[in-house]
Amino acid sequence: MYIENILADVHEAVTPLIGQGTVADYIPGLASVNPNQFGMAVAMNNGAVYGVGDWRVPFSTQSITKVFALVLELARDGEKIWQRVGREPSGSGFHSMAELEKSKGIPRNPFVNSGALVVTDALLSVTDGDPDAVLNFLRAENSDPDIHVDEDVAASEALHGDRNAAIAHLLASYGNLVHPVQDVLTAYFRQCAIAMDCRDLAAAGAFLARAGLRSDGSRMLTASQNKRVNSVMLTSGMYDAAGDFAFQVGLPGKSGVGGGILAVVPGRCTVCVWSPGLNASGNSLVGVRALDEFTTRTGWSVF
């Protein structure tokens, strides 16, 4: 099976759909993106990376970075984070506060905003307050200093960040933040605003398909921690459509409102797909379809 051919076939299959969906418009930096873009990259466990379309065009990674924040926290702090964040799908919106009130400040999982804010807070503790821990990791994994925080997007996130600020204050009121709310929000918004391309994202997440091992053989996570990250991606990585995504695609995945999705085929490869138009669940419309085509053509799925 030649991955280049599979990617070309997937590209052809989704071409009629490119441009469909709604580009996230809650901040100008996302609203102005050209919707007629599609890129896809596959990072194989042997180190080869293949791509098609706009796979080298940087985009706003947004909530995909929640995976890397969780990974860095687990790698440095062991299992402690699970005392502060749960592992259940939320069943309500990614920035819902209702659940948080009921659970007395323990977020449902690390991929809803409340959970990501707690992870960000924990990561600040183990990095001496570095707001760019995720950025530095992603740069180092790819030896690519061009991976950057889009400062306009970060500033807009902050300007339109009332709900995230409210969530952070609620967390703090329950004693589930250690750092000042403003420091946690700044780090969180910077993390969401990281811009990079499909190639680099797929390559940076490659350890997720290798039971926690990086391409140079060094260990990022224990096999058990790695399994857990993939499990939470499967159950909670696609907003309120994790069930549909498991049904259609059959892989752990994490999406962001920038239109990217990082998916993992354990034991084989990671796949990153990007197309800015979102479906009603907030996941990339073309991205989900492309991953559906990819797993159908390769037969690669966790099921």
Which residues make up the interface to ligand GLU (CB under 6 A)?
62-63, 94, 113, 157, 164, 192, 256-257
- The neighbouring-strand residues paired with 50 are 42
Nearer to ligand GLU among residue 192 and residue 204 (C-beta): 192
Contact 147, 194 (CB under 8 A): yes
Q: How far is the CB of 36 from ligand GLU (least distance, A)?
A: 21
* Phi and psi angles of residue 238, each rounded to the nearest 5 degrees, phi first: -125, 45
What are the Cα distances from residue 193, in Å, to 30, 116, 153, 178?
10, 14, 6, 23
Q: Which two tokens stand for residue 6?
A: 């599979």
Terminal-to-terminal C-alpha distance of the chain = 20
Cα angle, residue 66 at apex, residues 206 and 35 outer, rounded to 5°: 85
Nearer to ligand GLU among residue 24 and residue 234 (C-beta): 24
Q: How far is the CB of 165 from ligand GLU (least distance, A)?
A: 11
Q: How far is the CB of 170 from ligand GLU (least distance, A)?
A: 15
Nearer to ligand GLU among residue 190 and residue 289 (C-beta): 190
Nearer to ligand GLU among residue 53 and residue 161 (C-beta): 161
Q: How far is the CB of 107 from ligand GLU (least distance, A)?
A: 13
Distance, in Å, from the CA atom of 9 to the CA atom of 232, rounded to the nearest integer, reads: 30
Residue type, 221: L
Q: How far is the CB of 24 from ligand GLU (least distance, A)?
A: 8
Nearer to ligand GLU among residue 29 and residue 86 (C-beta): 29
Contact 175, 107 (CB under 8 A): no
